[in-house]
Amino acid sequence: MKKTILLLSFLLISTVTFAQKKFDDKALSYKMELLDGQSKSFKEILKKYKGKNVLIDVWASWCPDCIKGLPKVKELQEQYPNLVFLFIDMDKNTEKWKSAIDKYEIKGEHIYASGGMKSDFGKAITLDWIPRYILLNKKGEIVIFRAITADDSKLLTTIKNLK
């Protein structure tokens, strides 16, 4: 009985998670830091990529799964040069964030979400695990809301089929 309830709960959460088409106001209004020290809302950051497909990688330098997934992300960058790679860091401070970008030679757009996974932004996107990959189409709609590996089959298929 417990297994059935757990399975049904998982299926319900998965359905709701994948069905989300846009970020809520709490996520969009969250202020984030750019590499140059500027602060912008997530909405302002996303506006820059209007008309482009975007893969958001929510990660942190302390996360072994995030670091382990970077080679696959780099492969995706080579395969899909027109896909924007937006890295949202969840570290506790900006020094670790900036150091990790250099250390792991992470290419793409970088922003820092202060407060880590339990921040208002983390709560707004129901962040329960990192890495977390979110895929946006050219209309800015969320087509994948939760993938936890860069080689997730649904994520890869969806990226391949984006126009």
Q: From CA 146, how far away is CA 155, in angstroms rounded?
A: 9
pLDDT of residue 7: 45
pLDDT of residue 20: 67
pLDDT of residue 21: 75
pLDDT of residue 98: 96
pLDDT tens string 99-139: 999 999 999 999 999 998 999 999 999 999 999 999 999 99
Residues of the chain with pLDDT under 50: 4-18
Predicted TM-score (pTM) of the model is 0.86
Name the one residue in this structure whose structure tokens are 């008309």.
51
- List the beta strands (DSSP E) in the chain: 31-34, 39-41, 54-59, 84-89, 109-112, 132-136, 142-147
b (16+ CB within 10 A) / e for 82-120: ebebbbbbbbeeeebbbebbeebebeebbbbbbebbebe
C-alpha dist (Å) from residue 118 to 23, 37, 113, 114, 124:
17, 22, 10, 10, 10
Number of H helices, E strands in the chain: 7, 7
pLDDT of residue 22: 86
In 20-145, alpha helices (H): 25-29, 42-47, 64-79, 94-103, 120-124
- The count of other CB atoms within 10 Å of the CB of residue 140 is 17
pLDDT of residue 120: 92
C-alpha dist (Å) from residue 6 to 11, 145, 148, 155:
9, 21, 19, 24
Q: How do the residues of the chain divide into helix, strand and coil, expressed in percent and rounded to 5?
A: 45, 20, 35
> Residue 31, exposed/middle/buried by CB under 10 A (0-12, 13-18, 19+)?
middle
pLDDT of residue 143: 97
